[in-house]
Amino acid sequence: MGKLIAGNWKMFKGPTETLEFFDGFEAPEGVEVVLCPPFVSLEAAVGEEWPIYAQNVHWATDGAFTGEISAAMLVELGVQGTLVGHSERRLYFGESDETVRLRAEAALAAGLGVIACVGETEAEREAGDTDAVLRRQVAVLPQHEQLVIAYEPVWAIGTGKTATPELAQEAHALIKSLHDTRVLYGGSVKPENAAELLTQPDVDGALVGGASLDAASFSSLCQIAASLS
């Protein structure tokens, strides 16, 4: 099985920019690619050849939840999966371990793939709490063949900082001891540092933010991943 490279576009790229991206994006054989556009661009993206994931999903099938999207709605649109628990959702929008669990379970029950994000803040790492934080966050996640975990040290998200390959490997090994799944690394991954991270034995791929917005950059990153598979 090849490396899994997922691009999280966050709040970038409407439908027009989404189609322009795919005009310039190429990925070789030997790498799995997933792209996560914002909700308004999902319909434009699902017509392309790569699996498209949403950036979030609600646990209810329907109801009075203004601004939320159900798993059934994503399935109807042709979306194949979703992120849950991204650090920005936890930080800015009140996500908890419990709501991450609920979202993951609802998505999996609907037949969607799930990339569930876990990771410690800088303060938690400095306090020596990384192990405890990861154990707590991973413990609530269901065991399921369609669930993948992304380890994203919060202090490395959009900061330009990256965990050393050794730190990434240590965290991934811990997660794999707790949960039988593939584990991606997320945190300022770019073509310049991808190879040293992806060669770690327990790093099964990457969740890419900023570097996934440029078609050439993301194509290059996918080529690096394919060469290591």
User: In CATH terms, is domain 3-228 a member of 3.40.50.150?
Assistant: no
Predicted confidence at residue 187, as pLDDT, reads 86
CB 187 within 8 A of CB 163: yes
The catalytic residue among 86, 105, 172, 179 is 86
pLDDT value at 156 more than 80: no
User: Per residue in 163-187, pLDDT tens?
Assistant: 899 999 999 999 999 999 999 999 8
pLDDT at 155 over 90: no
Q: Where are the alpha helices (DSSP H) in the chain?
A: 15-24, 42-45, 71-77, 87-93, 97-109, 122-126, 130-139, 165-178, 191-198, 215-228
Q: Is 86 annotated in the active site?
A: yes
Residue 152: active-site member: yes
Mean pLDDT, residues 127-149: 97
Annotate 14-68 with DSSP letters as a single string: -HHHHHHHHHH----TTEEEEEE--GGGHHHHTTSSS-BEES--BSSSSSS-TT-
**pTM to 2 decimal places:** 0.96
Measured in residues, the chain has a length of: 229
**Per-residue pLDDT tens over the stretch 50-109:** 999 999 999 999 999 999 999 999 999 999 999 999 999 999 999 999 999 999 999 999
Choose, from 32, 105, 124, 152, the residue flagged as catalytic: 152
Between these two residues, 33 and 187, which has the higher pLDDT value? 33
